[in-house]
Structure 1
């Protein structure tokens, strides 16, 4: 076959980028996070079981555990972002993993000694939440430096796929472990998961450029100014600002519906606990399926177009959730959840890849922290509003408001510069 010629001579072939499957650093990070996500999902089952069964906590006292787990995002995201941009992010992640391992290990040890109290459980959950914020900010800031820019979508897709897989099997494994060894002893497994994550991070070998902490004149500003720089950067980026508004609105209404969905299925649809579990399994499968094909879909639809398409297109299927009926009709709720799960996978991968691609490395930690502070900060409020709507208006009416509110979040990205773009700029 003859080589194609141009006026300047032989056409140059763009060297193919090595697959992520051959990237030692990525595989270590991916493997460690997969184990860590699985352990986290197991603890999500074990913590309320310990509180309700072993410690006799009331419904309100159990709900405080969720509040304490999410509160650190509102209180500590901005300081964590300023810290992550000044220190070795990999070492910060390892320290957070080891700290969470120690906290999880303390629970079964204290329980075996007969000293476990609800107050101690609150302290462990709250401190673990603080360390999770620090880890998440550093993790989202470090990952883009371990892969090439054109591998961000593929890498983020694989990481999100692990989260969905853990969400699918984690609660089941947690339930089996609780039945075999008791709720408190399952935290031994959670501690091991964090240890595995720390070891895989320690085994990562970075180049001097990857290892260096980004330095700039911003490092000399006051901590208060540093914490607001991420927000200032987002405000100057029209697309990023629209993505932030979309994500925040979606999180608010999703958490509002999440706070009443189990009650809706049990009381309005008269579903059994087995059927409720099946509904959530169906929703996780939706996210897993799209996660597998996320890279191909993003390339086919366009890296910019997929952001608003993922938010707008599945919206009609959300309406199946309040339309669900008793009997097998409860599975309509699962279909609606699966549609949202698939939307979340595609949207989050594309939006996160864009944020990592356009943000200067020296402030990426602060920008990530800004997103966590706002997007996750509304979650406790959304849960409160969902419960209030369900109490005052009825569960089905409240659910209609929540799903329409979730779909309305798409308006921020539909009516944005993204609608006239196919692909996002490289930088």
Structure 2
């Protein structure tokens, strides 16, 4: 039995990879809470400024997402992930250093957001392209489920712990923890061994040609095209809400940082349930139908955000309930569609396929952040959240009216050149 054929629980390489991701995911939850608290509470950010911050943190997928995929198809993905982790650790460490020196300003958060965003582009595209290299096709679904389950466990414990710590220590201290977690992740990935090789130089073509090939693969496949369009619409309108979330909870609802952390933490239980329940859920209603139902379910659950403004003392339970459902449906949706596209794509196109999809579905996030910040300033937070809710729900139409609806089994065989 080769290392590639070992059960996941005995696969040393997968265990190192899995462990490193678990640590960095936990640290990332600290940053998820610490950055907006730092901006809103410590630096007094306005609606427009938090919109700019959200745009800075996600702009990299729009700016370098496409060439990153082509570059990564020419690189060893494990080394790219290690380098990205080191860059993220160094960038995040500058914020607490500036704070304790008394020099931290909003523009520092923008710059660090951009740097971390660029590193995250390379890490995430390499990460999704690496699972099919690390595991045989028959284990990709199980591997994704374990990785996503761990991510959700981190999402459950991380924000709650971060919220509790924010009552004791300052937000900049939490960023130190995340920086350390990326160092641990880099070490764990360094310990992984694989057989990946880079394509011979003489087989390379102009960068633009290789980028176009990745885009064409995605948009000529009608199932992938429907998924990309739904995900892009959901992310664009969803960032109307995500951008204003901290302002909404901390200022408008006056719930405090601990409640924000509790909301993320308890809400993420739904994500864990979704990761565990995905195999059962897809068997029950069909794999393609599960994608459609989860997209619609997520859109409906998003309404909890603006509805919380009408709930009075029940605002926090309403938000938590909405996040539970959102997280559940997001995990069902992501595990099902990511596994399908990893199986469908030829190995040499993995980086470009993932980058092309991320360019569209994550590239709309900075646009959504800017639009959310502008609308929040002009219309108010709650009306902007209603627009985001309705827009995201309408985005589910792309998968609803596609062959995915009613499909019991998604294509399982990898496309060969």
After TM superposition, is the score higher than 0.5? yes
1:71 aligns with 2:59: yes
Contact persistence 2:52–2:369 (CA under 8 A): no
Provide closer, same or farther for how the CA distance between residues 411 and 378 of structure 1 changes in structure 2, counting only shifts above 3 A: same
Q: CA deviation at 1:169?
A: 2.6
Provide closer, same or farther for how the CA distance between residues 248 and 59 of structure 1 changes in structure 2, counting only shifts above 3 A: closer
Q: 2:267 aligns with which of 276, 280, 283?
A: 283
Greater Cα shift, 297-306 or 364-373:
297-306
Name the counterpart of 1:203: 191
Name the counterpart of 1:232: 216
Name the counterpart of 1:14: none
Contact persistence 1:78–1:228 (CA under 8 A): no
Contact persistence 1:270–1:326 (CA under 8 A): no
1:28 aligns with 2:16: yes
Name the counterpart of 2:225: 241
Structural RMSD (CA): 2.9
Provide closer, same or farther for how the CA distance between residues 115 and 419 of structure 1 changes in structure 2, counting only shifts above 3 A: closer
Contact persistence 1:154–1:295 (CA under 8 A): no
Q: 2:294 aligns with which of 307, 310, 322?
A: 310
Alpha-carbon distance in 2 for matches of 1:383, 1:346: 25
Q: 1:345 aligns with which of 328, 331, 335?
A: 331
Contact persistence 1:153–1:295 (CA under 8 A): no
Report SS of the residue matched to 1:305: helix
Report SS of the residue matched to 2:405: helix
Question: Which has the bigger relative contact order, CA under 8 A and spacing at least 6?
Answer: 2
Aligned residues: 407
Q: Could you report, residue by residue, the CA deviation over 1:53-105 in whole angstroms, capped at 9, with x for unpaired residues? A: 66666664454332211111110111110110001111111111122222233
Alpha-carbon distance in 2 for matches of 1:403, 1:77: 27
Alpha-carbon distance in 2 for matches of 1:181, 1:398: 33
- TM-score when normalising by structure 2: 0.86
Q: Structure 1: any 5+ residue segments left out of the alignment?
A: 1-16
Q: 1:295 aligns with which of 275, 279, 282?
A: 279
Provide closer, same or farther for how the CA distance between residues 59 and 257 of structure 1 changes in structure 2, counting only shifts above 3 A: closer
Contact persistence 1:101–1:191 (CA under 8 A): yes
Provide closer, same or farther for how the CA distance between residues 200 and 263 of structure 1 changes in structure 2, counting only shifts above 3 A: closer
Greater Rg over alpha carbons, structure: 1
Report SS of the residue matched to 1:417: coil
Contact persistence 1:268–1:326 (CA under 8 A): no
Name the counterpart of 1:332: 318
Alpha-carbon distance in 2 for matches of 1:415, 1:40: 36
- TM-score when normalising by structure 1: 0.85
Q: CA deviation at 1:116?
A: 4.8
Alpha-carbon distance in 2 for matches of 1:53, 1:331: 23
Q: CA deviation at 1:199?
A: 1.0
Provide closer, same or farther for how the CA distance between residues 315 and 382 of structure 1 changes in structure 2, counting only shifts above 3 A: closer
Alpha-carbon distance in 1 for matches of 2:372, 2:147: 30
Greater Cα shift, 271-280 or 319-328:
271-280
Alpha-carbon distance in 2 for matches of 1:57, 1:399: 19
Name the counterpart of 2:357: 371
Alpha-carbon distance in 2 for matches of 1:129, 1:113: 25
Name the counterpart of 1:6: none
Contact persistence 2:159–2:264 (CA under 8 A): no
The 5 Å alignment of 1:42-57 reads 42-51=30-39
Greater Cα shift, 406-415 or 396-405:
396-405
Provide closer, same or farther for how the CA distance between residues 384 and 269 of structure 1 changes in structure 2, counting only shifts above 3 A: same
Report SS of the residue matched to 1:419: coil
Alpha-carbon distance in 1 for matches of 2:216, 2:238: 27
1:162 aligns with 2:168: no
Name the counterpart of 1:11: none
Q: Structure 2: any 5+ residue segments left out of the alignment?
A: none
1:359 aligns with 2:345: yes
